Amino acid sequence: MKTNPKNESKRINALKSLDILDTLPEQEYDQITKLVASICDTPVALISLIDEDRQWFKSKIGTDSCGTKKEYSFCNFAIKSDDEIMEISDSREDERFQKNPLVSGDEQVIFYAGAPLRDKDGNALGTLCVIDHQPRTLSEKQKEGLLFLANQVIKLFELHSINKGLKKTQKLLKKKNNQLRNFAGVVSHDMKMPLANMIVTIDILKAKYKSILDDSGVDYLDNLKKSSFQLSDYITNILTHYESDNITSNEDSLEVFDVHTLVEDIVEMLDIGDDCDISFPEESIDIFTNRVALEQILLNLIGNSLKYNDKSKIEIDIDFKKESDFYRFFVKDNGIGIPKDKQKEIFNLFSIVAENDRKGNKGNGIGLSTVKKMIHNLGGEIKVSSVEGKGTTFEFTIERTKKLED
């Protein structure tokens, strides 16, 4: 039986692109060979793949062989057949196999039935086959079972190909993300110093030329300074977002510390005025986790409670619970609230809900995305509940590292 060289080249390329030859045994394939041997009541069952010069077994039962030469392969005939199943009741009476060493040798392939494994383009990559050492035929139900299971092998091949593509895409995305992180880091650091110089220069200009500047000139300088601070804040948030993986994975940041002390440090950093009341957790409890990451998370959430608040008296309630598997935190405020239809979007990068904060500044939509990313990296989750005009509550968890903690 002759094969069109072009078709054979296409078939070989399809087989190699699957990237499954010479891979380790897999339970999913072995289960199919065991099941088909049981259904067909044969001592041998194989998932066989045919390349340029050999037959290789992805899965096998009833033989110690890993494959054979292509020229002796029964499956090589099966993949060239137009039949759904190539069945040979007694190979000793078939002129194609009478001199085949597999018939007369130790293998004694007397009975053979193989279903070609065709990909979506019709390329027969190999077969699911059963073998017996004595003459016989399959019943219709056994043939049906063989075909059904051959279809399952094809689906496993398709899944293998999809997973291979996903891994390749994941690797590429990781590479691109690292490039973007490095780019953001370099650009951000390079911009920080010129911005700092601009802010200092603006202050010098105001001090030195205040007597000759009219009100409009002073306003221009104030607006320029304000914009410089906003850009600096934006850059800082971008850096934090792209460095969040490094922050959460840094084992040197794991330490035992008191929750009360952490919150007190954060409040001191935020320089909160008399127009704000902050309630601390009732209990002062030591926890063991990534202090730097938790500080960043709480800084952002408490900072938002301060910025997005329209009340004359800002009220922020911080609570904490130590559970069996998690640390659970609550940050509740009496601020402007978040519209219900926007609550799912707030954790998306660059998503902005409020037009301006308490001081009239526009947000950049980076902070909450970074918060969610850090919490996820720490094995936790975050959710929000809010009522417009009344306030917002953020609840988040961080997984406890019990062994290290105890």
Per-residue confidence (pLDDT) for residue 184, from 0 to 100: 65
Q: Are 42 and 111 in contact (CB under 8 A)?
A: yes
Same-domain pairing of 151 and 294: no
Which of 3-12, 195-204, 293-302 holds the top average pLDDT? 293-302
Which residue in 132, 154, 144, 172 sits closest to 41, CA to CA?
A: 132
Looking at the fold, whether 153 and 294 belong to one and the same domain comes out as no
Count other Cβ atoms within 10 Å, centred on residue 87.
18
Structure tokens given for 216? 């409009």
Q: Are 388 and 338 in contact (CB under 8 A)?
A: yes
pTM above 0.85, yes or no: no
Confidence of residue 369 (pLDDT cuts 50, 70, 90): confident
Average pLDDT over residues 278-300: 86
Comparing C-alpha atoms, which of 42, 38, 35 is closest to residue 137? 42
Model pLDDT, residue 363: 66
Q: Which of 124, 152, 168 is the last residue of a domain?
A: 168
Q: Is the pLDDT of residue 203 over 70?
A: yes
Helix runs in 336-380, H state only: 367-377
Of 66, 67, 79, residue with least CA distance to 15: 79
CB 349 within 8 A of CB 366: yes
Mean pLDDT across the stretch 347-355? Answer: 73
Question: Residue 29 domain-assigned?
Answer: yes
Domain boundary among 113, 134, 168: 168
Check residue 208 and give its pLDDT.
85
Residue predicted with more confidence, 268 or 90: 90
Ranges 58-62, 104-108, 266-270, 364-368, most confident: 58-62
Tell me: the pLDDT tens digits for 322-342?
Answer: 888 999 999 999 988 888 888
Residues 277 and 163 in one domain: no
With CA atoms as reference, report the closest residue to 124 among 115, 136, 133. Answer: 115
- Among 101, 103, 123, 105, which residue's Cα sits nearest to residue 6? 123
Q: Which domain holds residue 361?
A: 250-405
145 within domain boundaries:
yes
Show the CA angle centred on residue 159, arms to residues 13 and 173, nearest 5°: 85
| More confident call, 38 vs 201 | 38
> Does residue 403 or residue 49 have the better pLDDT?
49
Tell me the C-alpha distance between 334 and 320, whole Å.
18
The CATH number covering residue 325 comes to: 3.30.565.10
Total domain count, the chain: 2
Report pLDDT digits (tens) over 109-168.
Answer: 999 999 999 999 999 999 999 999 999 999 999 999 999 999 999 999 999 988 888 888
Give me the residue label for tokens 């057949």: 81
Structure tokens belonging to residue 153: 């092998």
